[in-house]
A and B are shown apart, each in its own frame.
Chain A
Amino acid sequence: MIRLDDKALRETAYESKVHMIGRCTLIIGLLLTFLPPFILWLAYGIIPPLNNLISGIISISAVMIPVSVVEILTFSPMLGSSAMYMSYLTGNISNMKIPSAAISMEAVDVKPSTEEGDIISTIAIAGSVIASEIIIILGIILIAPITAKLNNPIIQPAFEQVLPALFGSIGAYYILKEWKLAVAPLVAAVSLSLVPGLPTAITIPVCVLASVLGAKFLYKRDLIKADE
């Protein structure tokens, strides 16, 4: 009993530390992102008229508020808390952070949404963040020569296909693991993509929901072997 209490106590200590650091860094980070427009304003005196700015703010908020709410509810069970704080400071969540966390948990054999999973996804995303910042800096330094090379007509089409390349690969891995699970989301996703112009803010949650419901159906009927 005493050991159990110890464990519970330690976890909450860790969790509250994570939330503390996460909140502080996110808020500071958010304030820092406003440096460029403030520099434009204070140093160069360039600022849009207030009316236009407000109308712009209304349009972007109308899009972003529902998107953010749904996204956060979708992503937060997949990544641990600290992984969430990092992902939201650096962006590119569905195309970079989620796949790299998923593949890392596979590589070291831990389950998502467990304590170990949270820690591994945190470490994986830390690796991912650091690597991508370094590569972007290198990219900026080399931007002139790279632009010339990447505009090469042979390589250009390949870079336009980076998303299919990523998701073909990681999708295949997951489908090999448990193909039955893939049926429901794939059907949902294909039918959703036949409707033109739906933003991923709608399609991702709908598809995740379809996938989860499908999984529940299969699990209840013992049609999938959970690896544990």
Chain B
Amino acid sequence: MITFIVLQSLLFFRLAYNEGLKLGLTKAKMLRAFRTGAISTIVPTIAVIVALITMVPVLGVPIPWIRLSVIGSAPYELMAAGIGAKAMGVDSLGGAGYNSQVFSASVWIMCIGSVWSVSLVAFLLKRIKKRYTKNIGADPKWRAVLMNAAFLGVFCIFIADPITKGGLPLVTLLCGASIMTVLALIIVKLKQNWLKEFALALSMIGAMACTALFSYLF
């Protein structure tokens, strides 16, 4: 399964790499993108492992591992496992009454729930893409603004949460933001371009270190 995933990404990597060469992107640039993608993933992946650990007592090692390596994310899997159990008349994961049959219901539901999104992408993405390329129009400046706005929209959802909750999440958010600001200043003012690849990973680690320190002190 995991070999298959890695195979898919290698296939796409090669295809994109060759296409990139034709478009005149330099090798260095593309390898840099690869590195940046990899480095930026490290810390969120560790969070996935932590989520995995919380699921292991209930669902064992193999199922959460497979599920978190493909398609799902921790909240989805927990929800789906919960729905599976509920359909069997069991209200909690683990605990009394959570026998092997209920467990298998959880597993089935986890798998079936993700069929929708995956098959939609598999069958309809081509058409959706065509529609978009037609609509987006010819104004490259507006397109750049539009994309930045779309990214910001996704980010703001996750930024708003700590702001309204306050407390430790807010501390972490602010630490991450200030470390990133400092790093961005260094990159721009001192022209330290290499730092760009590491900026995200560094500020996340920094922010989490601050959080650990903060919660230890107070």
Lowest 8 CB-CB distances: which A-B pairs, in order? A168-B176, A56-B87, A124-B37, A127-B37, A208-B153, A189-B160, A68-B117, A211-B153
> Does B22 have its Cβ within 8 Å of any Cβ on chain A?
yes
Least CB distance, B143 to chain A, in whole angstroms = 6
- A119 contacts B19, CB within 8 Å? yes
With beta carbons under 8 angstroms apart, the residue of B41, B49, B63 that contacts A131 is: B41
- Chain B residues at the A interface, C-beta cutoff of 8 Å: 1-2, 4-13, 15-17, 19-20, 22-23, 25, 29-30, 32-50, 52-53, 56, 61-63, 65-73, 76, 79-80, 83-84, 86-89, 100-105, 107-109, 111-126, 128-129, 132, 136, 140-164, 168-170, 172-181, 184, 196-197, 199-200, 203-204, 207-209, 211-212, 215-216
Q: Which of B10, B89, B215 has the most CB of A within 10 A?
A: B215
Encode A72-108 as 1/0 by CB contact (under 8 A) with B: 1110111001101110111111111011111111111
Which chain B residues lie closer than 8 Å to A53 at the CB level? Answer: 87, 105, 108-109
**What's the Cα separation between A22 and B46 when bound, in Å?**
27
Contact A161 B149, CB 8 Å, known A85-B12, A127-B33: no
Task: State whether the Cβ of A2 lies closer than 8 Å to any Cβ in chain B.
Answer: no
Task: Identify which of A90, A123, A207 contacts B71 (C-beta below 8 A).
Answer: A90
Q: Are B112 and A60 in contact (CB under 8 A)?
A: yes
Task: Using A27-B122, A88-B71, A91-B68 as known contacts, say yes or no to A164 and B169 having CB atoms under 8 A apart.
Answer: yes
Whether A128 contacts B8 by the Cβ 8 Å rule is no
Q: When the two chains form their complex, are residues A140 and B61 in contact, meaning their CB atoms are under 8 A apart?
A: yes
Closest Cβ neighbor of A178 among chain B residues: B148
Cβ of A99 and Cβ of B211 under 8 Å apart?
A: no
Kindly list chain B residues whose C-beta atoms are within 8 Å of the C-beta of A175: 152, 177
Listed by A's residue number, 18 A-B pairs whose Cβ atoms lie within 8 Å are A30-B122, A91-B68, A105-B33, A112-B148, A113-B143, A119-B16, A122-B12, A123-B30, A124-B37, A136-B65, A136-B69, A161-B172, A164-B162, A168-B207, A185-B156, A204-B154, A211-B149, A215-B146
CB–CB B147/A78 < 8 A: yes
Chain A window 35-71, contacts with chain B (Cβ cutoff 8 Å), 1 for yes, 0 for no:
1110011001011110011011101110111011101
Contact of A26 among B122, B152, B207 (CB under 8 A): B122
Are B200 and A154 interface neighbours, CB within 8 A?
A: no
Whether B204 and A166, one on each chain, are in contact in the complex, defined by CB atoms closer than 8 angstroms, is yes
The residue on B at minimum CB distance from A108 is B29
Complex CA distance for A82 and B120, rounded to whole angstroms = 15
Residues of B within 8 A of A92 (CB): 44, 48, 73
Residue pair A18, B12 in contact (C-beta under 8 Å): yes
- Name 4 extra pairs, CB < 8 A, besides A112-B147, A173-B200: A168-B207, A169-B176, A170-B200, A185-B156
Residue among A52, A114, A147 making CB contact with B88, cutoff 8 Å: A52
Minimum CB–CB distance for A225 against chain B, Å? 9
B125 and A72 form a contact (CB under 8 A) = yes
Q: Residues of A contacting B52 with CB < 8 Å?
A: 136, 139-140, 143
Residues of B within 8 A of A29 (CB): 4-5, 8, 70, 118
B121 nearest in chain A by CB position:
A88
**In the assembly, what is the distance between CA of A93 and CA of B74, in Å?**
12
Interface assignment of A9: CB less than 8 Å from any CB of chain B: no
**Are A107 and B33 within 8 A (Cβ)?**
yes
A204 to chain B, nearest CB (A): 5
Asked if A56 and B86 sit within 8 Å, CB to CB, the answer is yes
- Closest Cβ–Cβ distance, residue B111 to chain A (whole Å): 5
A180-212 with Cβ < 8 A to chain B: 181-182, 185-186, 188-190, 192-194, 200, 203-204, 207-212
- Residues of A contacting B73 with CB < 8 Å? 91-93, 95
For the complex formed, measure the closest distance between the CB of A137 and the CB atoms of chain B, giving whole angstroms.
Answer: 7
Set of chain B residues within 8 Å of A158, measured between Cβ atoms? 172, 208-209, 211-212, 215
The answer to whether A219 and B142 touch across the interface, beta carbons within 8 angstroms, is yes
Closest chain-A Cβ to B76's Cβ sits at a distance in Å of: 8
Q: Nearest-CB distance from B197 to chain A (Å)?
A: 6
Chain A positions within 8 Å of B143 at CB level = 111, 113-114
